[in-house]
Structure 1
């Protein structure tokens, strides 16, 4: 192992080039030793120097060093290696390159040399470093768009060994916050393709959240964990809740895009289908090959003659129309039939029906000053099963603050002074289309004087 030199008094910066070089990165009135993270990093100097020895230089050199170290560490038949054994095992490397790599690994305490037996041994620190690298490489092979697998595995392993650190929890918390912001940006963008890509990534993140819930419960219930660990675990729990609550935001954004989708005539194709087809082609310009040709250019007429003929035709048309009839007679505007989507019409009728419920006398009289309440099935029925299901899907928008700030029918629905209260019970109904429905209620909102809030 690399020994750390210590003295009784602080070293003089003028006599310590390394300390002087580190201080050069800080402001004159700030001492590097006063920073807490600098202290922790200095304590880990032997381990950091091992990583420096492995990863310093170009990628090719790093690859060869890791190759040699992994080949030696993977041999479990013997704990020591003679130089002929190493030459045989790594015969595909040039002798000069192998000698250089062995010298570097030996100098930086990744390989230990036993002069009495003339053998090499892989040091425990080297095995720890290789284990961390192999775990990271293994996670990189799996499909993990959320990039949470390795962080969560580190927290789970440390928890099983009873040594989870606040830093590991902070890394996981930081990744959860990054994902929440990324998904919020995708929702705010209004792009259907970005929304669907982020929603798929959100589902993967939720799978990791479910796997990590038990770990967090174990951390929060551990009496031996300190206050900082408990606080970090609770913060992760809140971040996970925020992440899980984004399902409704994804659904509303995609429903809004679905209502605004433009269809091309009666073909059934939409702009989304065309964009998806265009994204399958790497070279869009190649689609125009053979489809666009040069127009016919008449070579027998000069531009001046064309202007003269066009002017004569224009003036003759104007003179004929002025002499023949003067102003045209008035005509009634043609009658048109709105081709609006039936779902929008159904939403408008449902909104008018709910607004009618808020009129005076529609709700039953309140008892002891309580807010007037009716059962949900009284407002949803009578209707077919499809219409009743659609109306029921719109009930959660009542009182939604985010939706109330928007324009349109859904915004008007969210601003109604009615509160929706669901429950887990079912109620049997004497209806031809709907046999049973969840027991829920609609409550009319009142101001302190007992009047409706919208009057």
Structure 2
């Protein structure tokens, strides 16, 4: 293919990416090889539905006449006398041009070509199955194609893949119906499942013949095995349908003692094509809808609000009542904080601090200050220790501010100390120490004496 054909908008290459060569695609090769047959379908089905119908009508009328294989123009005019001569001439010309009718110039007769009979046979098989009541007739058509091809030894992987795709579609459809929880959809799908199982039973023998055929290639064997697995998955859905329907049966709602259920009512409603007709003569007066604008809604709301306020003000103020007495025992954690603050304050004012006796300890281990106590109380006390000496907290009011203003210094370490306690097994080694305010400087003392 040259560059000019590739740039033409109607060329095949114009539909593909520039870096893709059309002839390198396998499916394109197979379709190109079937070009004569595809052109026959194009000749039949190109144009509007009415034109297609007339072409098929003429070709079927001639092909179904088995009394003769050749038709003169007079025979055709007699057999198709219900068509206009101009329309009949146009159809015959199109069928003859596309090798659906062969013209024998020596004898002056038309003959139906073998390709035309093959096309009509395929269409008749599809149309015959399409006229059946069950919606899964397409599976029967695919299975018949596989059976026919197997009978003559020409089954292809593509035919098996079409059948496998249909089985997969049915399985997904049934799973969606089960997941929907709709009783009507479940029962409809269950009926369709029974029909599909009939086709599966008929196709099992065909699959066994394909898998046992020694001349079948590996691709055909794999496709047949995949169809067998899909059929098994389809057959195993009977239990899923039964469980879903039993669940719906347990949840069915009955209307009083009438014996009717919501399913019966829905089935009765579905039997009426015009539900609106059920309301005739059932309502004495028709419903009159009232429409209101947002502005009117605001006016009504404001009127109702003012009316309620005026009604509440007419009665005057209510008489006074004594407030109920309540006993505030205090929060447990607040009491614990107060006790902890008292304990640390006693340590800070030991021997009238800052005059500390020599025998008085200047520091104490944290675990000796926190214990004895329960684990919760000891943890709460330990969480308060970082507040000691916090200037920001000391500038506030409250118990934690009093704790921050104590002359104590908290010095933690990275080591742990094992404890002989029932609540706390180990604790970080830390200490609490007293620190005295800095002594006054000599300059400040002398300046004080001069002022005196």
**TM-score over 0.5 (shorter chain):** yes
Corresponding position of 1:154: 145
TM-score by length of 2: 0.62
Note if contact 1:13-1:19 (Cα within 8 Å) is conserved in structure 2.
no
Note if contact 1:264-1:270 (Cα within 8 Å) is conserved in structure 2.
yes
Separation in structure 2 between the aligned mates of residue 295 and residue 175 of structure 1, nearest angstrom: 52
Report the secondary structure of 2:231's partner residue. Answer: helix
Corresponding position of 1:217: 208
Which residue of 256, 272, 275 maps to 1:265?
256
Shift of 1:67: 0.6
Corresponding position of 2:186: 195
Note if contact 1:14-1:20 (Cα within 8 Å) is conserved in structure 2.
no
Shift of 1:75: 1.3
Corresponding position of 1:345: none
Separation in structure 2 between the aligned mates of residue 296 and residue 33 of structure 1, nearest angstrom: 70
Separation in structure 2 between the aligned mates of residue 19 and residue 293 of structure 1, nearest angstrom: 68
Query: 5+ residue gaps in structure 2?
Result: 289-299, 313-452
Which residue of 88, 102, 112 maps to 1:98?
88
Residues 1:252 and 2:250 are matched in the alignment: no
Report the secondary structure of 2:11's partner residue. Answer: helix
Distance 1:97 1:163, change over 3 A: same
Corresponding position of 2:11: 21
Moved over 4 A (4+): 15-20
Note if contact 2:140-2:199 (Cα within 8 Å) is conserved in structure 1.
yes
Note if contact 2:8-2:14 (Cα within 8 Å) is conserved in structure 1.
no
Shift of 1:17: 8.5
Separation in structure 1 between the aligned mates of residue 162 and residue 135 of structure 2, nearest angstrom: 17
Distance 1:105 1:18, change over 3 A: farther
Which residue of 129, 139, 159 maps to 1:139?
129
Shift of 1:76: 1.3
Corresponding position of 1:82: 72
Separation in structure 2 between the aligned mates of residue 206 and residue 264 of structure 1, nearest angstrom: 37
CA RMSD of aligned residues (A): 2.4
Separation in structure 1 between the aligned mates of residue 283 and residue 40 of structure 2, nearest angstrom: 63
Separation in structure 1 between the aligned mates of residue 131 and residue 287 of structure 2, nearest angstrom: 58
Q: Deviations over 1:330-387 (max 9, x none)?
A: xxxxxxxxxxxxxxxxxxxxxxxxxxxxxxxxxxxxxxxxxxxxxxxxxxxxxxxxxx
Distance 1:217 1:134, change over 3 A: same
Q: 5 Å matches for 1:286-365? A: 286-294=277-285
Corresponding position of 2:223: 232
Separation in structure 2 between the aligned mates of residue 213 and residue 284 of structure 1, nearest angstrom: 46
Shift of 1:136: 0.7
Note if contact 2:5-2:11 (Cα within 8 Å) is conserved in structure 1.
no
Separation in structure 1 between the aligned mates of residue 222 and residue 168 of structure 2, nearest angstrom: 16
Distance 1:116 1:17, change over 3 A: farther
Separation in structure 1 between the aligned mates of residue 77 and residue 143 of structure 2, nearest angstrom: 40
Corresponding position of 1:111: 101
Shift of 1:85: 1.1
Corresponding position of 2:113: 123
Residues 1:168 and 2:171 are matched in the alignment: no
* Bigger Rg over Cα: 2
Shift of 1:295: 9.2
Shift of 1:296: 12
Q: Deviations over 1:139-197 (max 9, x none)?
A: 11223322311001101111111111111000000000000000000000001110000
TM-score by length of 1: 0.62
Residues 1:39 and 2:46 are matched in the alignment: no
Shift of 1:12: 2.5
Shift of 1:281: 1.1
Shift of 1:15: 4.9
Separation in structure 1 between the aligned mates of residue 8 and residue 187 of structure 2, nearest angstrom: 51
Corresponding position of 2:170: 179
